[in-house]
Amino acid sequence: MSRSIEKLLQPKTHSQKHQLLKELGFTIPLAKECTDIIEVERFMQEIGKKRNDLPFMIDGIWVGVNDNEIYKKLGVVGKAPRGAIAWKFPAEEVTTKLLDIVVQVGRTGALTPVAILEPVQVAGSTVSRATLHNAKEIERKDVRIGDTVIVRKAGDIIPEVVKPLIELRPTKPRPTRSGFGVARFKMPKHCPTCWSDIKRVGELDFCVNRKCFTQTKRQIIHFVSKGAMDIDGLGPKIIEQLLNEGLIKDETDLFELTEGDLKPLERFADKSAENIIQSIENCKKVKLGRFIYALGIRHVGAIMADDIAKYFGEMSKFQNSSIDQLNEIYGMGDIVAKSIVDYFADEHNQSKVRKVLKSIKLENPHRREQKLAGKTFVITGGLESMTREQAEQKIRDLGGRASSSVSKETDFLVVGTDPGSKAEKAKKMGIDIIGEKEFSNML
Ligand SMILES: [Zn+2]
C-alpha cells in the first residue's frame, strides 16, 4: 500500500475522502475545494456551463463543510444535516400545446386531471403527459385545453404544467374534443370508469364506489408491488384479466388463486403460472412494515410504514391506534395520522384487512424499547456528551417526546451548561429538573 493511501485511510476532510476513492480506482465526481461562498457560486456557474456536455444528468451541486469534525458537530435537523446543502439549477422550461385533459382514477379513488401534451423534450426525455393535481389547481393556473403551456420537470423528475401563455390562447371556442380552439376543463360529474357519483373532499374529487374497477386494479397493483407484498409476475395486464374473469374481486382474493386459474391467462403475465403461485406462496410470510405499506393507506409511504411497524410492533396495536398515539411517531403529521384513523374506521377496509390476515403471517419487528413512552422532555443549555439533536433523537427513539418549550405537558427539563430562562419557568411550574448525568442514566 502506498504511503499516501495509508494517510488517506483516516480522512479528516471530505475532499480527502474523494482522493482516497480516486487512489482506490473509483471515478470521483467533479468537485472543488472552495475557501468562501463566492468561490462556490463561481464553481456552480462553471458546472452550469458544462452541464449539457456531461455524459449524465445533473440537477445541481452538493455544497458541504469540508472538515469532517465540524460537519459532525453541526449535527442534523430532522433528517437534514446542517453541514451540507443541495444547490439546484433552475429547472429547464419549454413550451408545448395542451391537447386535452383526461381524468385518471387512482387507487384511493382520487380523480386526477392529467394534461395530454404535444410530445416535447424536457430535461433529457420526451414528455407527453403531466399531472394537473386537481380541478382547483387548473382553475388557479387558468389552464385551458388548446392553450400553449410552459412545462418543466419538478425536481427534474415529474413533469408539471407551470402556466399557460395567455397571449397565445386561441380566440375561438373548441367545438369538439380534438378540434382547434380553446375549452375550459370541467371535472366530470361521474367516475370515468364506473360512472358512480363523485364526492369532493377538500380540493380533491373521489369516486364514491369502493368497488370501482380502476380503483381496485390500482390498489392491487400497489399491493403486489416490489416495496409492498412483492408478488412477482402479476403485472397490470394479468390483474385486469383476473378482475374481468371474476377470479378475484380485490387483493384479498389473490391468496386463493390456483395454478389452474392462472394457466389460461399466462400470456398476459411475464412469469409462468407456476412461478406466480410460488411467489404468492412466498409472500405469505411478510414483514409488518411491508404489509402496512401494501395496504395503500393514503400518505403512508414505505419509510413511514416501517417506522409505524417498529413503533407498534404488531398489527393489532396499529389498527386500534389513536391520532395522539400516532403523533408520537417521528415524522408523523396530523394529516397522515388522520388518514390512518379514517382508513381503519372504514368497514370495507376492516373486513379486507381481516380477510388478508387469515391468509398470511406477519413477521413483527423487534419493537424499540419504549422506556420513555409518554414522557415529554425539554432540553436547555449545551450538553457535554452529545448535541441537542442527538439527545432529542434518543428521546424519540425510546418513545418519548422532545419539545422546545416548557409547558404543563413537560415532564422533565434537562439542564445543560449555560441554561436560559427555561429553568426558572420550569421551577415555578414544579417540573422535574434534571442534569445531563441523570438524563444519560434514563437512556
Ligand atoms: Zn369509479
pLDDT at 8: 63
* Amino acid (1-letter code) at residue 228: A
Crossing angle of the two packed helices 334-345 and 347-359, in degrees rounded to 10: 80
Mean pLDDT, range 182-198, rounded to an integer: 93
339 three-state secondary structure: helix
Q: State the distance from the centre of ligand 1 to the C-alpha of 289, rounded, in angstroms.
A: 29
pLDDT above 90: percentage of residues in the chain? 56
Mean pLDDT, range 163-186, rounded to an integer: 84
> How many CB atoms within 10 Å of residue 324?
8
pLDDT at 375: 86
pLDDT at 210: 86
Q: State the distance from the centre of ligand 1 to the C-alpha of 219, rounded, in angstroms.
A: 13
Phi/psi of residue 60, nearest 5 degrees:
170, -165
Over 70: is that where the pLDDT of 7 sits? Answer: no
Mean pLDDT, range 398-419, rounded to an integer: 85
Residues 6+ apart with CB under 8 A from 340: 297, 300, 321, 326
Beta strands of 48-182 (E only): which ranges? Answer: 60-64, 76-77, 80-81, 84-88, 93-105, 110-122, 125-131, 148-154, 158-164
Query: Grid coordinates in use for 90?
Result: 433552475
In the chain, the domains with their CATH numbers are 3-88 (3.30.1490.70), 90-209 (2.40.50.140), 213-283 (1.10.150.20), 287-363 (1.10.150.20), 376-442 (3.40.50.10190)
Q: State the distance from the centre of ligand 1 to the C-alpha of 198, rounded, in angstroms.
A: 8
In this prediction, residue 5 has a pLDDT band, given cuts at 50, 70 and 90, of low
Q: State the distance from the centre of ligand 1 to the C-alpha of 292, rounded, in angstroms.
A: 24
Mean pLDDT, range 283-307, rounded to an integer: 93
pLDDT digits (tens, 9 = 90+) for 21-69: 998 899 988 899 999 999 999 999 999 888 878 888 788 899 999 999 9
Rg (CA), the chain: 27
Question: Taking Cα atoms as reference points, which of 220, 243, 367, 237 lies closest to residue 294?
Answer: 220
136 three-state secondary structure: helix
pLDDT digits (tens, 9 = 90+) for 335-393: 999 999 999 999 999 999 999 999 999 999 876 667 887 788 999 888 888 888 888 87
pLDDT above 70: percentage of residues in the chain? 95
Q: State the distance from the centre of ligand 1 to the C-alpha of 208, rounded, in angstroms.
A: 7
